[in-house]
Chain A
Amino acid sequence: MYLTAPRRHRVPIALPLALLLTFSGAVLGAKVKLDPSSWGHPAGGDCVSCHEKASPGLAEQWHGSAHARAGVNCMDCHQADAAEPDAIEHEGQVIATIVSPKDCGRCHETEYQEQAGSVHAEAYAIIAARVPALADNLTGPAMQAAGCDQCHGSEVVVRGDGTLDPASWPNSGIGRINPDGSKGSCSSCHGRHRFSKAQAREPDACVRCHSGPDSPDKEIFEASKHGMLYAAQRDAMNLDADSWIAGKDYTAAPTCVTCHMGAAGKIPATHDVGMRNVWSLNTPISERQYLVVLEDGSRLELPADEKPPKRGSEVAKADGTTGKVKVVATPERRRQVMSLVCQECHAKSFTEGFMTQFDDVVELYTAKFGAPAAAIMNGLYGQDLLTPLPFDEPLEFTYWELWHDEGARARHGASMASPNHAWWDGMYLVGRNFYSRFLPEARAIAGDRAAELVDAHLETGGHHRWLDDPRQANPILGYVPSPQPQRTGPASDAATATEPAAASGAAAAESPAGPDVDQTAASQTATAADRPAQEAAAE
């Protein structure tokens, strides 16, 4: 029967991984392999006829789609079994409003398998335990529906009367937990009901979520040379092509899809968007990560400073259950795949040089700021100087923004070559926050124990040793100390006449109060830095 048409045997999930580097010849984005006699539901014509009138925009979108040209109609995607939790009766048919990745997977099997278990599909599950702190406590549940869940996905609730709870639907967040148990939302990137290839290949397909303070990837891309070339040469992108292999079908510029999902040379396309990523970048501390593919198709990322799990061994999943390891991709292997995409346009040495610059930023962030800040926070929590409740103390906001906003921007900026995001919007703000807010606030909270709970964590690696020499020259802020104080009247005049830095202020140069100025400036700095600390202490 139509509804229960036998599925074709599954393409092993690890195939793309295992064959990544050995496949010869281009592997296209997987084509739908089902027999076209399996679609074209007889009731579909009635749907279209009525929806052309009831919701003409939607129907028009579908008319312009590849689905329509292939004869795939409304019912082919929306049909449901009456036993499904969200099945409803609609004009005589049993349908579901939500077309889940599992539903799309009735035809698009490979894409379904690839996205299931990807960091996109897990976007809700990964943060589920963390959301209440911001969504419920700091603001309110209304913000979860309108904010968090619109990107991360909602856990869709079907009410007893068959309706979808508006607190969880409409939602096209990419890690949506669907009533059929599948995770994800294809329509997050593939605008329904036209499902245009070209649209999904555009950087704009990612913008709804990958923008803003914590992951400004849209802004980063646009500010990078990749984005510059894309904007200038968009006409040469061949976005509508059936085959879209970087280096072959287009060379004008890469989009988000090109590097993170796209086919390039011998690298096949994948819907596992995080597969080619080495680092965790949206965490307080960045780690290189293994990609562990389990027998059940789900995936895990494990820190690479531990031994990789053995094939066939049992590992604990995020949800507490265990799974058997099928394949482990090392960070090196993941990097190699990403680099092969780069090498469609760049030389190997150029690519390696860029990756070194990127890795250096991530390592610098972690060693200099992320790791000490995390250690300091843990110490303060451990000594009951901070309550475990998140965001009831100002320092917690300071810490959150340090790694979640500024720190993430710096790392993302470096990963995609936007100098301003790496520096001014990124690491510069990390440094400013760390030295002028985070440390003073933490010291104020630690009080007498600041040396042990705060400053002790700054010694590793010598990153903060520059503070030990406050008498260093200061050309950047325009302060130049006066010459040494063997000054009588004429000598002072001579200094004024010969000093090229007189522009910095005749008054300062003339005045014998150079050291005083220095002191005043220093005490002002100290006051400014201490202010948040005092406020924190007053809290």
Chain B
Amino acid sequence: MIRLQAPQFITRHVLFALVAGGAGGVVFMFFLLEFDHFTSSNAFCTTCHSMTYAEETYKRSVHYDSPSGVRATCGDCHVSEGLIMATYDHTVGTKDLLKQLFGPKYDDPVVNLVHLPDAAFAARDWFRKRDSATCKRCHTLDAIQGTRANTAAIHQEETEGKTCVDCHYNLVHRKVPDRKTFKRDAWNAMVEQELGLAPGAAAKILAGER
């Protein structure tokens, strides 16, 4: 007759701790899942006023309003898939929260627009580093047909060594040139003209003077 004999070190306290820890772990997992899910939602992202500027252009894009009814949320594109990577992205993302709280006044439309190119460059780097993984959640290279005659052929034959974001940028948010050809003076002049600022004001704002 087999008799299950717990090892000597499994005392009642240890057993209790194991059960409590295990249950706590499970709860924590659920918490993380829900937390990542919640913090990936449009509603959460736009609780910061600074993010509503990004939301404006997003709402005019096909990623928000697509004829098929599919709608990509902020997190669908900007947070990695999988609990570990999603948690990692959110952890790293807390630096944005810190900058929102203690950095430049991103809620101000001028400050926001002056800093936008840097945000765009960082986002593009992020996509590139992950081989456009979040794009591929929905878009499958082999399945891309497009509406123009040769879109499928282009995606089959012309994409070797390229990742989605290499070609497809400036899709959702306000247009920012590639880093290689970006001209800060021209950008600042555009901001000044658009928002009625004196020449040179944008450079001062960028430098933190106000």
Q: Which residues of A contact B (CB under 8 A)?
A: 46, 49-50, 53-54, 56, 82, 85, 87-89, 91-92, 94, 158-163
Contact = CB atoms under 8 A, between A and B. Distances in A.
A88 B178 contact: yes
B10 to A, nearest CB: 62
Contacts of A92: 162, 166
**The 5 residue pairs across chains A and B that have the minimum distance between CB atoms:** A160-B190, A89-B178, A53-B150, A162-B177, A161-B175
A30 B132 CA distance: 50
Nearest to A158: B186
Contacts of A87: 181
B186 A85 contact: yes
Contacts of B153: 53
B198 interface: no
Given A94-B180, A160-B188, A53 B158 contact: yes
Contacts of A56: 149-150
A95 to B, nearest CB: 9
A88 B183 CA distance: 11
Interface in B173-210: 174-178, 180-183, 186-191, 193
Interface string B89-111: 00000000000000000000000
Contacts, number: 60
Nearest to A49: B158
A85 B187 CA distance: 11
A77 to B, nearest CB: 18
B166 A91 contact: yes
Contacts of B150: 53-54, 56
B167 interface: yes
Contact of B181 (A49, A54, A94, A160): A94
7 contacts: A53-B149, A54-B150, A54-B154, A82-B180, A88-B178, A91-B166, A160-B190
Contacts of B178: 88-89, 162
Contacts of B174: 161
B142 interface: no
Given A85-B186, A163-B175, 8 more contacts: A53-B158, A54-B150, A85-B183, A89-B178, A91-B166, A160-B183, A161-B177, A162-B186
B158 A162 contact: no
A158 B187 CA distance: 11
A213 B162 CA distance: 54
Given A56-B150, A91-B167, A159 B190 contact: yes
Contacts of B186: 85, 158-160, 162
Contacts of A162: 175, 177-178, 181-183, 186
Nearest to A84: B181
Contacts of A53: 149-150, 153-154, 157-158
B187 A160 contact: yes
B64 to A, nearest CB: 20
A82 B181 contact: yes
Nearest to B170: A161
A247 B176 CA distance: 56
Interface in B125-170: 148-150, 153-154, 157-158, 162, 166-167
B180 A89 contact: yes
A87 B178 CA distance: 10
Contacts of B183: 85, 160, 162
A29 B141 CA distance: 50
A50 B177 contact: no
A89 B175 contact: no
A82 B175 CA distance: 18
Contacts of B177: 88-89, 161-162
B109 to A, nearest CB: 15
Contacts of A82: 180-181
A46 B189 CA distance: 35
A508 B153 CA distance: 85
Nearest to B191: A160
Nearest to A159: B190
B158 A50 contact: yes
A82 B178 CA distance: 10
Q: Most A CB atoms within 10 A — which of B149, B150, B187?
A: B150
Contacts of B181: 82, 87-89, 94, 162
